[in-house]
Chain A
Amino acid sequence: MKHLLATLILLGASAAQGATPPPEAATCQACHGAHGEGVVDGDKPRLAGQSAFYLDKQLRDFASGARDNAIMSAIAKGLNDQTRAKLAAYYAALPVPAALEHRAPTAAQAERGHQLAIEGAEGKRVQACNNCHGPDGSGVALSAPALAGQLAPYLAAQLKSWQQGSRKNDAGNLMSSVASRLDDADIAAVTAYYASLE
Chain B
Amino acid sequence: MPPAVALVAGSTEAAAAAAHHPVKAATPAPAAAAASVPKPPEKPPYLFFNVAEVQFIEPACERLIPADESGAGALAAGVPNYLDKQLGGAWGAGERLYRSGPWIQGTASQGYQLPFTPAELFRTALRAIHSDLAQRGSAFNELSTDAQDDYLKSLEKDNHDLDGVPSAVFFDMLLKMSIEGFFSDPVYGGNRDMVAWRMIGFPGAYADYYEAIDRHGVKFEREPLSIGEDGHGNVHVHPEIPASVG
Q: Is B48 among interface residues, defined by CB-CB distance under 8 A?
A: no
Closest to A13 in B: B29
Q: Whose C-beta in chain B lies nearest to the C-beta of A11?
A: B11
Interface contact B19-A12, CB-CB below 8 Å: yes
Whether A142 contacts B16 in the complex (CB less than 8 A), given A93-B23, A96-B23, comes out as: yes
* A132 near B15: Cβ-Cβ < 8 Å: no
Nearest A residue (CB) for B214: A171
Instruction: Give the number of residues in B that approach A within 8 Å (Cβ atoms).
Output: 40
Which of B37-45, B70-78, B162-170, B219-227 participates in binding chain A? B219-227
B157 within 8 A of A: no
B interface SS class: loop
**Which of A48-56, A153-161, A180-188 is found at the contact surface with chain B?**
A48-56
Size category of the A interface is 35 or more
**Which residues of A sit under 8 angstroms from B14, Cβ to Cβ?**
5, 8-9, 52, 89
**Structural contact, A94 and B23, CB atoms closer than 8 A:** yes
Main secondary structure of the interface of A (DSSP, over half): helix
Which residues of B from 181 to 235 have beta carbons under 8 Å from A? 206, 208-212, 220, 222-223, 225, 229-232
Shortest CB distance B68–A (Å): 22
Q: Does B18 contact A (CB under 8 A)?
A: yes
Q: Which of A24-32, A69-77, A103-111, A144-152 is near enough to bind chain B? A: A144-152
B18 and A9: CB pair below 8 A? yes
Q: Is the CB of B29 within 8 A of A9?
A: yes
Query: Taking the complex as formed, is A174 at the interface, i.e. its CB lies under 8 A from any CB of chain B?
Result: yes
* Chain A residues in 8 Å Cβ range of B220: 142
Q: Residue B32 at the A interface, CB < 8 A? A: yes
List the 6 closest pairs (A to B, CB-CB), nearest first. A136-B231, A49-B22, A8-B11, A13-B29, A138-B231, A96-B22
Please list the residues of chain B having a beta carbon within 8 angstroms of any beta carbon in chain A: 6-29, 32, 34, 206, 208-212, 220, 222-223, 225, 229-232
User: Mind listing 17 A-B residue pairs with CB under 8 Å?
Assistant: A4-B11, A9-B11, A12-B15, A17-B28, A49-B19, A88-B11, A89-B11, A95-B22, A95-B26, A96-B25, A132-B206, A135-B206, A135-B225, A141-B16, A141-B17, A143-B211, A171-B211
